[in-house]
Structure 1
Amino acid sequence: MPLLLGRRHLLRAGLGAAALPALRGLAFAEQPGAPLLVLVNLRGGMDGLHALSPADDANFVDQRAENLRNPTGGRQAGLRLDASSAVDFRAHREAAPLAEIWRDRRMAIWPAAGVPQATRSHFEAQAMMGLGQGLRAEHGGSTGWLAAWAAGAAPTGASVAALSAQGRLAPELMGGRHGIAVASLAEGLAPPGGAFGDAMLEALYRGGHGPAAQAGQEALAGLRGIDRLLPRDVEGRPLAYTPAGGADYGPGREFGRALAVVAQTAKLNPALIAATVDLGGWDTHEGQPGRFADRMRVLARGLGAFDADMAGLPRRWTVLVASEFGRRLRSNRSNGTDHGRAGVILAFGQGFGLGRHFGAWPGLAPDALDEGVDLRVATDYREVFRTVIADLAPAAPPPFARS
């Protein structure tokens, strides 16, 4: 279970499980050069063909209304990426900050990636991507792939921090000893009740010897360690976080605030090696144009701010962005798109060695489609994740078992 470290959360419900978070004293100096992976989950099934359109593909143009495409001209024109000599790929007009990172040669894109098993269920696809298909047998079906990777990537004897920047632990971090959920750092992470509350929790777990007591002791040490590092004013109140590089998380709204928590924690704690942030709202069965533009604006502005803010971090970091599946090629009668198969996965970062890589594209010809209706999965998402992480941390064990 997660340790929730939100502004008004105590150590909720989590201290009684062996799989509780542990930061073991937060020995931050142990890994000064640890690489950082930030996984962004686009919950709901983002329409990859709207995020990145093959604008001059005749089959695409025939199957979709113009306001569900990124055309080559007009008011809805997409941003040309020059990603392929055969197809004119256009990013959504609201994705300008991401297009700029691509042009800066610090981004890789897989335009037709996804889970290998055919499913249009959010629950099933998210479960596959959370646990990692091929990981179930090895880890008993309950350990998130990122939790397993973070544990294996940690140097012997070093503290590891894995952060879910929201009020609950992301599925990818479930089952590990190192996952914490931090919704905000604005009011610090000291337990409610001040010194009295802290003393009560200390007394509760000090004399225990079982896994719950050990987890409680380690969780308290982690909470204190992070809270102690927060800069404060003369009255002891945490100072507001000031991003670097002129970054403005405001246009990214709730997503931007979560990314700011990741950035601030990464700067305070050089041992942070994994973090997750969710952005929902992509299940666009109807009224897609306006809803999609809003989500894309939030996504791109948030990631653009994070990229600027993290530019001075003295270690490598990578952001990996994925959704559980894409949407159908043909738009529906409600001016939306229904659950499909392949979608877009992208990655970018600092010290990124895969710059301007563009993955396999199966095309949208009728005989190339999955079941005659969907963009086919050309690249297993696990292979994408393995490639990205091998670039970020080549000395660490790769995630997922090959099957």
Structure 2
Amino acid sequence: MTLLLGRRGLLRAGLATAALPGLRGMAFADPAAAAEVPLLIFIFLRGGMDGLHFLSPADDADFVALRIPTLRNAAEGERAGQRLDASPATDFRLHPEAAELAEIWRQGRMAIWPAAGVPQPTRSHFEAQAMMGLGQGHAGEASGRGGWLAAWAERVSGPAPVASLAGQERLTAELAGGHRGLALPSLARGLDLPGGAFGVAMLEALHARAAGPMGIAGREALLRLQSLDRALPRGPGGQLLPYLPAHGADYGPAAEFGRGLATIAQVARLQPGLAAAALDLGGWDTHDGQAGRFEGRVRLLSRGLAALDADLRDLPRRWTVLVTSEFGRRLRANRSGGTDHGRAGTVFAFGGGGGGGGRRSFGLGRHFGPWPGLAADALEDGVDLRVATDYREAFRQVMAELAPTAPAPFGRG
């Protein structure tokens, strides 16, 4: 059972003294073993991010001829894009507001797949997101009963009480079906279920003698909450102490997205067996007025991920952030100054942790996936960047780098 905890409900003080059977004997994973549990943080840019605006082939003649200047990153000028030196043949430039991400690339801790997506041709948000959540290549394809990330977390987390976390109020599709998961937007007020300690006691009594899967799931969910609540730092009077990010990390400029990232970082420290976390950042469906809206989204994304990178620098175990969107957008802009649903988009990942001052060797560092180009005969249906990398192959490479012995939770094809 995965427990969803919104702003109106979590567990408050008095929880740690509750007497659910088995609580006193429950412990965190052995520190030495926990240091071996990797952490995969999955960021989904819902809405279909324009990969060609995020990462532009600035000197590609076809791109320059067919894309309006406000929706591409230039090679020179006051607002030139961030140069990556990713390819000897093409001058790829990240959006000017992605300076922090460009720096991670230059440090050799980032991999980029510039033309990735679902194999099945689709421009439907619902269909593409559903396939990605289940790790499918085609709609209706056989898959596990839940999300691919939840399945992976169960394989690599060991006996940890919390294996996966959504840093928001709603569970993401990738984490659906997990048996040791939480959906939690913030820990600023602790964990508080309706009714306080009395409400907790009632829930415990309800599940204490319940038989079958539901009873077991209820008891285990309460145990997970209690294990996390007990780990929250408190002052002499029992009051919760605010979370202080490490290394001067500032999540503030990333607003709500930053708060979700801070929650993930906090739980990653409190629960050393946490293996997977997920967070959505929406607002990428830019059919009109794209230039300004897109700039704001990229700014939030880059600032937030930079804060997370700094905060987790000294985490004693390996971690990787994986970022994707359901698809990219059309090569040509529409008449409203935006772009319509396309096919291939940008997937990127970066890593840290595991000692060495947070600058661990990232085996995929500076990997740059295949680029099909934007010539007329290379486009899909004559209008879209063609999918050159099955998104699952990019995900598979990330998981293999992070946990080589754990098989990916989806097949090939």
TM-score, scaled relative to structure 2:
0.91
Which residue is 1:209 aligned to?
A: 211
1:9-48 aligned within 5 A: 9=9, 25=26, 27-29=28-30, 31-48=34-51
1:380 aligns with 2:390: yes
Is the 1:134–1:401 contact (alpha carbons within 8 Å) kept by the matching residues of 2? no
- Residue 7 of structure 1, CA deviation: 3.8
Which residue is 1:167 aligned to?
A: 169
Structure 1 segments (4+ residues) deviating >6 Å: none
Structure 1 residues 311-336: Cα deviation after superposition (integer angstroms, max 9, x where no partner): 00001000000000000000111000
Letter in 2 for 1:3: L
Is the 1:42–1:323 contact (alpha carbons within 8 Å) kept by the matching residues of 2? yes
Which residue is 1:14 aligned to?
A: none
Letter in 2 for 1:361: W
Q: Percent identity?
A: 65
Cα distance 1:220–1:159, how it changes in 2: closer, same or farther (>3 A)?
Answer: closer
Is the 2:47–2:282 contact (alpha carbons within 8 Å) kept by the matching residues of 1? yes
Which residue is 1:96 aligned to?
A: 99
Alpha-carbon distance in 1 for matches of 2:368, 2:92: 11
Structure 1 residues 292-348: Cα deviation after superposition (integer angstroms, max 9, x where no partner): 000000000000000000000001000000000000000111000000000000000
Alpha-carbon distance in 1 for matches of 2:174, 2:202: 32
Alpha-carbon distance in 1 for matches of 2:41, 2:236: 33
- Residue 149 of structure 1, CA deviation: 1.5
- Residue 385 of structure 1, CA deviation: 0.3
Is the 1:7–1:187 contact (alpha carbons within 8 Å) kept by the matching residues of 2? no
Structure 1 residues 221-254: Cα deviation after superposition (integer angstroms, max 9, x where no partner): 1111101100012332211110001100001111
Alpha-carbon distance in 1 for matches of 2:83, 2:256: 28
Letter in 1 for 2:44: N
Is the 1:54–1:87 contact (alpha carbons within 8 Å) kept by the matching residues of 2? yes
**How many residues are treated as equivalent by the alignment?**
390
Q: Secondary structure at the match of 2:286?
A: coil
Alpha-carbon distance in 2 for matches of 1:337, 1:7: 35
1:262-273 aligned within 5 A: 262-273=264-275
Is the 2:56–2:93 contact (alpha carbons within 8 Å) kept by the matching residues of 1? yes
- Residue 75 of structure 1, CA deviation: 3.0
Q: Secondary structure at the match of 1:28?
A: coil
Is the 2:190–2:240 contact (alpha carbons within 8 Å) kept by the matching residues of 1? yes
- Residue 275 of structure 1, CA deviation: 0.3
- Residue 2 of structure 1, CA deviation: 4.1
- Residue 28 of structure 1, CA deviation: 3.1
Which residue is 2:363 aligned to?
A: 353
Cα distance 1:367–1:138, how it changes in 2: closer, same or farther (>3 A)?
Answer: closer
Which residue is 1:392 aligned to?
A: 402
Letter in 2 for 1:390: A
Is the 1:80–1:88 contact (alpha carbons within 8 Å) kept by the matching residues of 2? yes
Alpha-carbon distance in 1 for matches of 2:197, 2:110: 47
1:105-184 aligned within 5 A: 105-133=108-136, 139=143, 142-155=145-158, 157=159, 159-184=161-186
1:239-318 aligned within 5 A: 239-318=241-320
Is the 2:160–2:274 contact (alpha carbons within 8 Å) kept by the matching residues of 1? no
Alpha-carbon distance in 1 for matches of 2:379, 2:34: 46
Alpha-carbon distance in 2 for matches of 1:402, 1:89: 29
- Residue 399 of structure 1, CA deviation: 2.6
- Residue 25 of structure 1, CA deviation: 4.7
Is the 2:118–2:391 contact (alpha carbons within 8 Å) kept by the matching residues of 1? yes
Alpha-carbon distance in 2 for matches of 1:10, 1:165: 14
Q: Secondary structure at the match of 2:248?
A: coil
Letter in 2 for 1:98: L
Which residue is 1:55 aligned to?
A: 58
Q: Secondary structure at the match of 1:148?
A: helix
Which residue is 1:16 aligned to?
A: none
Moved more, 183-192 or 249-258: 183-192
Alpha-carbon distance in 1 for matches of 2:272, 2:141: 32
Alpha-carbon distance in 2 for matches of 1:81, 1:253: 27
Alpha-carbon distance in 2 for matches of 1:40, 1:390: 18
Is the 1:151–1:176 contact (alpha carbons within 8 Å) kept by the matching residues of 2? yes
Q: Secondary structure at the match of 1:3?
A: strand
Letter in 2 for 1:369: L
1:369 aligns with 2:371: no
Which residue is 2:18 aligned to?
A: none
Cα distance 1:137–1:69, how it changes in 2: closer, same or farther (>3 A)?
Answer: closer
Alpha-carbon distance in 1 for matches of 2:208, 2:242: 33
Which residue is 1:195 aligned to?
A: 197
Which residue is 1:20 aligned to?
A: none
Query: Over aligned residue pairs, what C-alpha RMSD do you find?
Result: 1.8
Alpha-carbon distance in 1 for matches of 2:411, 2:79: 43
Q: Secondary structure at the match of 2:8?
A: coil
Is the 1:150–1:160 contact (alpha carbons within 8 Å) kept by the matching residues of 2? no
- Residue 197 of structure 1, CA deviation: 1.5
1:232 aligns with 2:242: no
Cα distance 1:216–1:401, how it changes in 2: closer, same or farther (>3 A)?
Answer: same
Which residue is 1:84 aligned to?
A: 87
Alpha-carbon distance in 1 for matches of 2:134, 2:351: 24
Cα distance 1:185–1:158, how it changes in 2: closer, same or farther (>3 A)?
Answer: closer
Which residue is 1:218 aligned to?
A: 220
Structure 1 residues 132-166: Cα deviation after superposition (integer angstroms, max 9, x where no partner): 116976545x41111111222344x5545100110
Alpha-carbon distance in 1 for matches of 2:409, 2:199: 39
Is the 2:56–2:73 contact (alpha carbons within 8 Å) kept by the matching residues of 1? yes
TM-score, scaled relative to structure 1:
0.93
